[in-house]
Structure 1
Amino acid sequence: MSTTKEETMTPQLIATCWTSAGDAAPMRADETSPVPLAKRIAAVAQTGWSGIGLVHADLVAARDTIGYPELSRMIRDAGIGIVEVEFLNDWWTTGEERAAANGIRADLFEAAKVLGARHIKVGAGMTEQPLPLSTIAGAFADLADEAAEAGIQLALEATPFSHLRTTQEAVEVVGRSSSPSAGLLIDIWHTAKTGLSHEELWKVVPMERVAAIEVDDGYHKTVGTIFEDTINNRAYCGEGDFDSRTFVERTLEAGWTGPWGVEIISAEHRALPVLDGLKKAQDTALACFPTAG
C-alpha cells in the first residue's frame, strides 16, 4: 500500500495531561481532573489524538477504582496508541522528602509498565536555590539506571523555576548518564522563555538523547511569577510570541520523527468545555506543520 507525503508528514499528537484535564492545574492541592476518565478518554479519541497523558493523581484514582489493566483496555479500545505519565519529581531529595518521592516513583513506574507508557515525564522541582549540577546529575543517573532495569524511558524537562533552569543544564545532566533510559524533554515554552532561539536549540541539544517534544505557545512578557505564567498564560500554538511554526520546522529539520505532545496550560483553556479545548489545541498545533493532513 503506497503512502503519500502528506500522510507520512501528518504528526502524531499527544494530548498531554493538562490539555484534556478540564479545570485542573499543576500544584493545586488536588491535581485530579474533574472530568471522569471514561469521558476524558472518549473526548481525546473523538477529536483524533494519537496519545493521551495522565498525571499521578489521576493514575492513582484509576488504580484504586477500576485498576490499571482496565484503564489500559479503555485507552486501547478507544484507538489511542500512545500513553505518557507524569510527573516524577524530588528524586534528588533525602529523608522524609525522599520517602514521599519514592512512593510517587513506585506509583508512576507501576502505571508506566501496565499502561505501556512511551515515557515518564521528569521534572526538577521548584526552588530559588538550585542544587549543584553534580548533585542533580548523580541523582538522575541513579534514577535512569533504576528506570532502565524496569524497561522505562525517562524524559527530563528543564524549567526556569527549578534546579535545572536551562536546556543546557538538562543536556549536561542527561549526558552524564550512560543509561538508555536517560532522555530529554524539550518544550518550546521553556526554551523560548529562557531565550534559547529555535535556531540555536538544535546546536545545543543532541537529538539522539531526546525522548519527547512538546509544542504550545506563550508570551515574552511574564505575568506574575514565572511559575504562575506557565500554568495560567500559555497560548495555543501560533497564537503567542514564540513562533510555534518555526519551532516545529527546525525540530523536523533536526531529525525528530516521534510524536508531539501538545501542552496547553492556561486559564483560557481550563474554561473551555473539554471537547472544545481539545479541538482547538489540535487544530492550532496541526496548523504549525507544513504538510499536516
Structure 2
Amino acid sequence: MSGNKADTGPGLILGYGNLTGVSFEERVAAAVAAGADAIGYSVFEFQDAKREGVGAKDLAAIADRSGMRVAELEVGLGFDGPADGRRWGPSWFPWDLPYMDAGVEQDFIELADAFGAHHIVVAASSGGDGAESAARFARICDQAAEVGAKVAIEFLPGTDMPDIATSLAVVQAADRDNGGLCVDNWHFMRGNADEQALRSLPGDRVVVVQLSDGPATPLTEDYFEETLKHRKLFGDGEWDVVGFLGALRACGATAPVSIEILSEQWQARPAAETAAAFVAGARALEPRTS
C-alpha cells in the first residue's frame, strides 16, 4: 500500500490537473524529479484506466516503486445530488461529467485504500435544495474513515456551496472528525472573497489548501474557461498568495498545500519542466514546505 495512513500529512502535493496528456508513470517520474512529496490523481482517469485493465493496486505499485505517495483524489462532483446518471451542473461547465454516484464513491474508496491517500475532494450540486447535504457528506466521511482518508468539500462558485461559509456549515452539521474543507484560493478570489470567513476558519477543518496565482482582472467572462485554462504560476499573477496561506496558518491550519495551476500555457511544456517550476514556486511560499 502506498503511503502511511498514520502519518501527519503528505507535505507538498503536485495536484492532478497540473500535468495532463501524460501517462501516470510520466507524472510520477516528473513529480519525483521535481521533489514533490506527493501527487494527486483523478477518479475519472481511474475509470479510463480500469477500461484498459489497470487497477488501483497496479497504480499503487507504480507509485511505490518510485517512492511517490498519491495523497489527493479528485473530484466527486455533486456528492449531494441525484445519483441517476444526470450531467453535473452548473449548466455552463464545459465537460460532460455525471453526478457522483455509488460507483464513483466505491472507486474513491478503492483508490484511497490502495494509495493510502490523505484525502478525497468533493464538490456540491447546483440548484438542489440541500436538505440532505450534511447526511450525505457524513456517509462519505464514514466510508473514507474505514480506509484512513479524510474528505474535503471544495467550494465552487456556481454550485450550492459557493464559498467558505456555505461549505463549512455542511461540514459542521455532518460533524465527522475526518470531514473538512478544500480551500482553493482561485475559487476564493474569483468568488466570495470573504476575508473574515477566511481568517475565522477553524484550522482543524482545513483538510487541504489548493494554490495558484491569477490576474487581478479575469481574462474571460467564462468562469470555468478561465479556471481550467488560465491560472498562473506563483509570482506571475497579481494575488497575495503568501498572505492567503499565512491567514490560514494563523488560524491554526496545518493542512498540506496542493499545487493546482491549471494552465494551457504550462501544460504545453514538457511535464518535467512544468513540475520543477511549480514545486520550486510552491516551496518558496512558506517555510513548512521547504
Q: Tell whether the structures are fold-level matches, with TM greater than 0.5.
A: yes
Of 189, 193, 197 in structure 2, the residue corresponding to residue 196 of structure 1 is 193
Classify the secondary structure of the residue corresponding to 2:162.
coil
Change (3 A) 1:57 1:181: same
Identity %: 26
Q: Which runs of 4+ in 1 moved over 6 A?
A: none
Classify the secondary structure of the residue corresponding to 1:234.
coil
Classify the secondary structure of the residue corresponding to 1:258.
coil
Structure 1 residue 133: Cα displacement: 3.9
Of 94, 97, 103 in structure 1, the residue corresponding to residue 82 of structure 2 is 94
Classify the secondary structure of the residue corresponding to 1:184.
strand
Q: Which amino acid aligns with 1:73?
A: A
Pair 1:174 & 2:154 matched:
no
Task: Answer yes or no: is the 8 Å Cα contact 2:83–2:102 preserved in 1.
Answer: no
Q: Deviations over 1:158-206 (max 9, x none)?
A: 0112221111100101010122232211111111222425565121x21
Classify the secondary structure of the residue corresponding to 2:183.
strand
Output the CA distance in 2 between the equivalents of 1:68 and 1:171.
31
Match of 1:139 in 2: 136
Structure 1 residue 68: Cα displacement: 1.9
Match of 1:39 in 2: 26
Task: Answer yes or no: is the 8 Å Cα contact 1:14–1:49 preserved in 2.
Answer: yes
Classify the secondary structure of the residue corresponding to 2:84.
helix
Output the CA distance in 2 between the equivalents of 1:200 and 1:140.
21
Match of 2:228 in 1: 231
Q: Which amino acid aligns with 1:113?
A: D
Task: Answer yes or no: is the 8 Å Cα contact 2:202–2:251 preserved in 1.
Answer: no
Output the CA distance in 2 between the equivalents of 1:259 and 1:95.
31
Q: Which amino acid aligns with 2:258?
A: G
Change (3 A) 1:195 1:93: closer
Structure 2, unmatched stretches of 5+, are 1-9, 87-98
Classify the secondary structure of the residue corresponding to 1:70.
helix
Task: Answer yes or no: is the 8 Å Cα contact 1:83–1:117 preserved in 2.
Answer: yes
Residues 101-180 of structure 1: pairs in structure 2 closer than 5 A: 101-125=101-125, 127=126, 130-180=127-177
Pair 1:207 & 2:203 matched:
yes
Output the CA distance in 2 between the equivalents of 1:95 and 1:260.
31
Classify the secondary structure of the residue corresponding to 1:87.
strand
Q: Which amino acid aligns with 1:216?
A: S
Structure 1 residue 82: Cα displacement: 4.4
Pair 1:279 & 2:276 matched:
yes
Q: Which amino acid aligns with 2:81?
A: T
Match of 1:51 in 2: 38
After the TM superposition, which of the residue ranges 169-178 and 142-151 deviates more from structure 2? Answer: 142-151
Task: Answer yes or no: is the 8 Å Cα contact 1:233–1:265 preserved in 2.
Answer: yes
Q: How high is the TM-score relative to the length of structure 2?
A: 0.83
Residues 42-81 of structure 1: pairs in structure 2 closer than 5 A: 42-63=29-50, 64-81=52-69
After the TM superposition, which of the residue ranges 222-231 and 75-84 deviates more from structure 2? Answer: 75-84
Output the CA distance in 1 between the equivalents of 2:100 and 2:23.
27
Structure 1 residue 149: Cα displacement: 4.5
Output the CA distance in 2 between the equivalents of 1:139 and 1:189.
26
Output the CA distance in 1 between the equivalents of 2:100 and 2:151.
19
Output the CA distance in 1 between the equivalents of 2:242 and 2:265.
21
Change (3 A) 1:135 1:285: same
Task: Answer yes or no: is the 8 Å Cα contact 2:79–2:123 preserved in 1.
Answer: no
Output the CA distance in 2 between the equivalents of 1:290 and 1:199.
25
Task: Answer yes or no: is the 8 Å Cα contact 2:81–2:124 preserved in 1.
Answer: no
Task: Answer yes or no: is the 8 Å Cα contact 2:80–2:136 preserved in 1.
Answer: yes
Output the CA distance in 2 between the equivalents of 1:67 and 1:39.
17
Structure 1, unmatched stretches of 5+, are 1-10, 22-33
Q: Deviations over 1:25-59 (max 9, x none)?
A: xxxxxxxxx31221221111111100111111322
Classify the secondary structure of the residue corresponding to 2:261.
coil
